[in-house]
Amino acid sequence: KVMMGAERRSMAMTEEEKLATAYHEAGHAIVNIVVPGNDPLHKVTIIPRGRALGVTMSLPERDKLSYSKEWCEGKIAMAFGGRVAEQLVYGKEHLNTGASSDITQATNIAKRMVTEWGMSEKLGPLLYNENQQEVFLGHSITQTQNMSEDTARLIDGEVRRIVLEGYQKAWDVLTEHRKDLEAITQALMEYETISGAECMALMRGEKIVRQSDDTEHKGPIGSAVPIAGRSPRPPREEPGPGMEPQPS
């Protein structure tokens, strides 16, 4: 509860909002499972917590002292899983503010990859963010650091490229796993909270069956959901809709 935030069961949500949240979180979950580099999926819920309507949480298998480029790219793709899932279901023109924190998180990771962690081939292993200033998207970087406008534009372009590649990766994964998206969404609508293991079982085409002594979950006892289709230091962010807290 501490990591995911306090539940807000009193928050009124319409069935339409609940379904959209389920698609959003299912999208995060599938991208988390499929894209290499992500930590193992721990839990997915559509019970409102904090400011988020739902949360998808992954946990590392052991303490991490550093983060790989693959981890960063996987986290960015996962961040866009929620918005992409909603667009696949409701249409590409379906845009709302629900992915705001996800976009912020993805952009911040990409920015640090380029300006602090030396993960851009075009810019190389140099530090461009020594004073922790905003070094992209039109900020007056030449006033705070000895950096040319050409370099600033290159940083902006690299951040944009990394973010858009993550978005496209999420789109490709969820297009391929559309049946899994429906199955996990239906499971969330029925149970509200499901484990990472249950998500993976659904993606293998299995069912969720819970026993009467299952105290971790709160769904209907012994019922099943439909079968799925066969088929250095990260940014500090508050957990946004669908995303787990970042390590600090």
CATH number of the domain that residue 81 is part of: 1.20.58.760
Confidence (pLDDT) at 94: 85
Give the global pTM. Answer: 0.78
Q: Which residues are catalytic?
A: 25
Sign of the torsion formed by the C-alpha atoms of 243, 244, 245 and 248: negative
55 DSSP β-pair partners: 45
Q: Higher confidence at residue 208 or residue 11?
A: 208
Is 31 inside a domain boundary?
A: yes
138-160, pLDDT tens digit by residue? Answer: 554 444 456 788 999 999 999 99
- Which residue shows structure tokens 């539940």? 7
Tens of pLDDT, residue by residue over 200-229, are 999 999 999 887 655 455 443 333 444 333
Please indicate, yes or no, if residue 84 is contained in any of the structural domains.
yes
Domain total for the chain?
1
pLDDT at 189: 97
Q: Which two tokens stand for residue 133?
A: 């200033």
In a domain, 83, yes or no: yes
Residue 178 inside a domain? The answer is: yes
Least confident of 15-29, 39-53, 142-156, 175-189: 142-156
In terms of residue numbers, what domain contains 71?
A: 15-107+173-203
Percent of the chain, pLDDT > 70? 73
Look at residue 208 and tell me if it is in a domain.
no
